[in-house]
Amino acid sequence: TSSLTAAGLSRRRYVAGGQCKSTAKLEGKVVIITGANTGIGKETARDLARRGKVIVACRDIAKAEAAASEIRAETGNQQVIVKKLDLADTKSIREFAEKFLAEEKELHILINNAGVMLCPYSKTADGFEMHLGVNHLGHFLLTFLLLERLKQSAPARIVNVSSLAHHGGRIRFHDLHGEKSYNRGLAYCHSKLANVLFTRELARRLQGKCHRRAEFTANALHPGSVHSELVRHSFVMMWLWKIFSFFLKTPWEGAQTSVYCAVAEELDSVTGQYFSDCQPAYVSPRGRDDETAKKLWSVSCELLGIQWD
């Protein structure tokens, strides 16, 4: 039995993956985390609240307040603030950004963490397919609205939570909103590929704008297969998640790469990269396609009615 236990423990350690070792403090710094009321977002907020001021940006205020008060009690940091943000509604995104910019003079880290997965076919308030609308377009608009404040606060970091699922994605420009054909698993993969391409193009554009490379970075990551509420729309996935929970990361383990990308000193001047288990990871060929990245950028601007040069 002891060898079985040892095997179990080493498997568990393998599943757990990398850990963020950085002890960097974020005193006087401001972090926004979207979707931080549950799962890896909540664990990311818990870690960063031990370092600095955290704004928890969520759709469900009651759930967010419960998470924030738990984090405040545990970390002793009263600077864990809840703000309403519904990424499925551009009006809500604009209101959030407007209030934030009026109240906060600085923003050092933006973690685009919130996401939906395996939704039955539905559309956002603006008529975007739900996965694309929340996971990509919502965060694209949020980043656009907060960009100047991030630039003024440099050094600053943008962290986009993508997924290994980007390997199964493609950007279907002829049917972006899945009106011709829709598969909820693939729709999730497409949106996660969009996260990788957005990060790549954003990093490329920011490099030209800043005098020092280190001032401003944008990176994407795969958190790992995490035991979280993200699969709530699929009975089969919930069932599989329960059976194979031993092979899944805990939300704390899943948050490690997000924290790493947000604070690790060795990433000060690293931008446009993709990480998993706190180290650089392989990006699919589609995720490295600069032409698609540029086209997705301009189509996203068109859909959102913004000019972002």
Active-site residue set: 188
Render 230-275 in DSSP notation, one character per residue: GGTT-HHHHHHHHHTGGGSB-HHHHHHHHHHHHH-GGGTT--S-EE
CB 170 within 8 A of CB 229: no
Q: Write out the DSSP string of 271-292.
A: -S-EEETTEE----GGGG-HHH
Q: Give the number of other Cβ atoms within 10 Å of residue 9's Cβ.
A: 10
